[in-house]
Structure 1
Amino acid sequence: MPDLLDLSRPHSLHLPDEAATLALGGRIAPQLKGGDVVYLLGELGMGKSSLARSIIRALTNPEQDVPSPTFTLMQTYDGPGFEIAHLDLYRLKSPEESYELALDDALAHSVVLIEWPQRLEHLGFADRLDIVLTESPQGGRQFTLTPQGRFR
């Protein structure tokens, strides 16, 4: 079992390459349960989808097909006792469009991974994990985790 990351406190880690990003998903995934929301923030190409994919595969099957939800907005997977909802909200034109996704209904029994959560604006979730991926001055990426609400 990978060395777990304490999700109740802030973290900042340097991720030198894609392999480190994928390994990080394995350190986060085992602690997630139905009702958890993870915000994945960062510019295009920072690894949000890669991290989501690694979390999903750690919770389902290492060979799980995990297409980007860029065009479908949401993909769902059967996890260990809960559903996993992976959303990419980049294409939302207004926060109210998110009502069609029934996020409140999914939240009760799903782990919800949301790329581009800032598109939710005032309809976002207070209890969540904020994960920000940015370019690192040393090369690779900088990972920052900030627990919000009940996660603290």
Structure 2
Amino acid sequence: MRQNPDIEISLVGEEATIDLGAKLALNLRAGDCISLIGDLGAGKTTLSRGLIQAILGADTEVPSPTYTIVQTYETDPAPIWHFDLYRIESPHELIELGFEDAEDDIMVIEWPENAGSLLPSQRLIVELIFTDNGRSARLTGTTPEWKQRLNDIFDRS
């Protein structure tokens, strides 16, 4: 059963997806986990790129980690671990990749459903959906803190 999103945003064009990533980046803290859900081509990597480049600069190369499975970026307040779990067949494979070590840092996870029970329960869920006008993003905080942070980010009381 899917939760109602806390925030729903229309994303018209790639730039809107990049801007959403940048907006989220401004509020990241050590220990944060962002789960990116969506079909192939929905914009998960584009959002990740916007988030990482907002912190490290637009010239930072942010490739899709589809084949490497994880890319790490040294940032302040904590390193960012960008996971793409599309090719993961079992959550046990994640242990070898340092998945549990990343929980104290910032995790951005594409295809989070493949993490199984290893996926942190306290996270921001960003679901990217194709619409008639392009895409939309449904943001759901799994904790009261995430819900408050979403209200602060998007200036909603």
TM-score (norm 2): 0.86
The RMSD of aligned alpha carbons is 1.3
User: How far does residue 25 in structure 1 lie from its aligned partner after superposition?
Assistant: 1.2
- Matched residues, percent identical? 38
State the partner residue of 2:41.
45
State the partner residue of 2:93.
97
CA distance in 1, matches of 2:96, 2:6: 32
State the partner residue of 2:79.
83
CA distance in 2, matches of 1:134, 1:112: 21
Post-superposition CA distance 1:99-136 (Å, at most 9, x none): 1122221221x210000000012221100000000101
> Alignment partner of 1:25: what SS?
helix
State the partner residue of 2:138.
144
CA distance in 2, matches of 1:106, 1:96: 15
> Alignment partner of 1:122: what SS?
helix
- Give the length in aligned residue pairs: 142
Unaligned segments of structure 1, at least 5 residues = 1-8
TM-score (norm 1): 0.89
**Match runs of 1:3-152 below 5 Å:** 10-108=6-104, 110-137=105-132, 139-149=133-143, 150-152=145-147
Unaligned segments of structure 2, at least 5 residues = 148-157
Post-superposition CA distance 1:29-66 (Å, at most 9, x none): 01001110000000000000000010000111111011
CA distance in 1, matches of 2:77, 2:128: 29
Amino acid at match of 2:112: P
CA distance in 2, matches of 1:107, 1:94: 18
> Alignment partner of 1:103: what SS?
coil
